[in-house]
């Protein structure tokens, strides 16, 4: 019995997932600190503790995400795209859907990945320049609104006619929203409007690379049902959001890759032998 770990160091949170040959054993999400390697170490440690596994039980560790190169102890690191793809396809396989498009909205970027039938990346679009249309934007919104991120979805669903947020830049949007609040507009409408403006941007990316069913939606904001609805409206399709915590898909993907690498490694060894 061998164990593998995937570490996804995102801008907002760090996710760690541990799997064995069959299934996921566990995962853990924690905010990324300043020193991401320590954080990663610590989280992994905690997770193993939870799983009552020895420190060295993990055979291979693959890191991904922005900080992936900072994780010295990782046996390999890989771009979050492939990791995301891997994870998404795996989850899809679990649910019995063939994922063709992946929408991942992260802390400070959002990507759209197009796959072919065999789950190989065909094309991808990415917005990593601007915070608008990312989780970070939603967080600022919550801060201004003084509500919890997790409530956003439910609140936004109450809105009848959302208010359009024209500013495409997170900073301007902020001021715009403040002025809206000043004009006593419904919070729900504002939030919904924000959702639609994000959805709109994402939808534009999707349009660029072309949308194919099934669409797999992951990343932290995927928890936000309002955003999900907005996206579904804009894309005119259903989104598949993994049942368990959707932000760890990338980490899981990394872990899966670690496992594959080890298997391949064995094969290689066998050949040399």
Partner 1 sequence: MDAQEKRQRLANKVKVNLAMTVREIFDAIEDEPSRPKNMAYFDRIFKTFTDGGKGAVPREEGRKLIGTYCLFVPEEIIYAAGGQPVRLCAGAYDSTEVGEEFLPDVACPMVKSEMGFSALPVLSFYQDCSLVALPASCDWKTKMGAIMEEHAPVMMMDMPRIKESEASREMWLSEIKRFKREVEKVTGVKVNRRRLREAIRLVQRAQVEFDRFHTIRKADTTVISGRDALEVLNAYFYDHAESWTAAMSLLNDELEERVRNRTSVTKPKAIRLMLTGSPMVFPNWKIPTVIEELGGALVADEFCTSNRYLHDKVAVDEGSVNDMLHAIADRYLLPCTCPIFSTTLDRRDRLLQLVEDHRVEGVIYHTLKGCHPYDLETKLTETLLRENGIPMLRIETDYSPQDVEQLRTRIEAFMETLTGKRRG
Instruction: Using CB under 8 A, list all residues that contact partner 1.
Output: 160-164, 166, 183, 185, 189, 193, 196, 232-234, 236-238
Min dist. Cβ of residue 183 to partner 1 (A): 7
Min dist. Cβ of residue 161 to partner 1 (A): 5
Min dist. Cβ of residue 45 to partner 1 (A): 46
Written as one string, the DSSP assignment of the chain is --EEEEEEE-SSEEEEEEE-SSSEEEEEEEE--SSHHHHHHHHHHHHHHHTT--GGGEEEEEEEEGGGGG-TT-SEE--HHHHHHHHHHHHHHHHT----EEEEE-SS-EEEEEE-TTS-EEEEEEE-S-STTSHHHHHHHHHHHT--GGGHHHHHHT-SSPPP----SHHHHHHHHHHHHHTT--HHHHHHHHHHHHHHHHHHHHHHH---SSEEEESGGGG-HHHHHHHHHHHTS-EE--SS-GGGHHHHHHHHHHHHHHHHHHHHHHHH-
Indicate the residue among 238 and 266 with the shorter CB distance to partner 1: 238
What's the rounded Cα separation, in Å, for the pair 202 and 198?
A: 6
Min dist. Cβ of residue 189 to partner 1 (A): 8
Indicate the residue among 1 and 236 with the shorter CB distance to partner 1: 236
Indicate the residue among 17 and 203 with the shorter CB distance to partner 1: 203
Min dist. Cβ of residue 238 to partner 1 (A): 7
Min dist. Cβ of residue 5 to partner 1 (A): 39
In terms of Cβ atoms closer than 10 Å to its own Cβ (0-12, 13-18, 19+), residue 204 is middle
Indicate the residue among 34 and 182 with the shorter CB distance to partner 1: 182
Min dist. Cβ of residue 106 to partner 1 (A): 25
Indicate the residue among 159 and 250 with the shorter CB distance to partner 1: 159
Indicate the residue among 82 and 237 with the shorter CB distance to partner 1: 237
Indicate the residue among 59 and 233 with the shorter CB distance to partner 1: 233
């Amino acid at each position: 019995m061998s164990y593998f770990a995937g570490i996804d160091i995102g801008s907002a949170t760090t996710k760690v997932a541990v799997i064995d040959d069959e299934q996921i054993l566990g995962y853990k999400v924690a905010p990324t600190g300043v020193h991401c390697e320590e954080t990663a170490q610590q989280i992994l440690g905690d997770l193993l503790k939870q799983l009552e596994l020895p420190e060295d039980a993990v055979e291979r560790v693959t890191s991904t995400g922005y900080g992936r190169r900072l994780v010295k102890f990782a046996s390999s690191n890989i771009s979050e795209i492939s990791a995301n793809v891997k994870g998404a396809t795996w989850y899809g396989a679990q649910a019995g859907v063939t994922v063709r498009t992946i929408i991942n909205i992260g802390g400070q970027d959002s990507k759209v990945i197009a796959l072919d039938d065999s789950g190989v990346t065909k094309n991808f679009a990415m917005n990593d320049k601007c915070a608008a249309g990312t989780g970070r934007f939603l967080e600022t919104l919550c801060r201004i609104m003084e509500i919890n991120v997790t409530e956003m979805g439910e609140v936004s669903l109450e809105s009848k006619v959302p208010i359009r947020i024209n500013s495409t830049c997170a900073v301007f949007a902020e001021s715009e929203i403040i002025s809206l609040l000043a004009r006593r507009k419904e919070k729900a409408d504002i939030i919904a409007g924000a959702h639609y403006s994000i959805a709109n941007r994402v939808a534009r990316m999707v349009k660029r690379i072309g949308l194919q069913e099934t669409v797999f939606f992951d990343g932290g904001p995927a928890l936000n049902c309002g955003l999900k609805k907005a996206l579904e409206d804009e894309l005119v399709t259903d989104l598949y959001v993994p049942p368990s915590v959707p932000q760890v898909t990338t980490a899981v993907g990394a872990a899966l890759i670690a496992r594959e690498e080890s298997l391949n490694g064995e094969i290689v060894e066998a050949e040399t032998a």
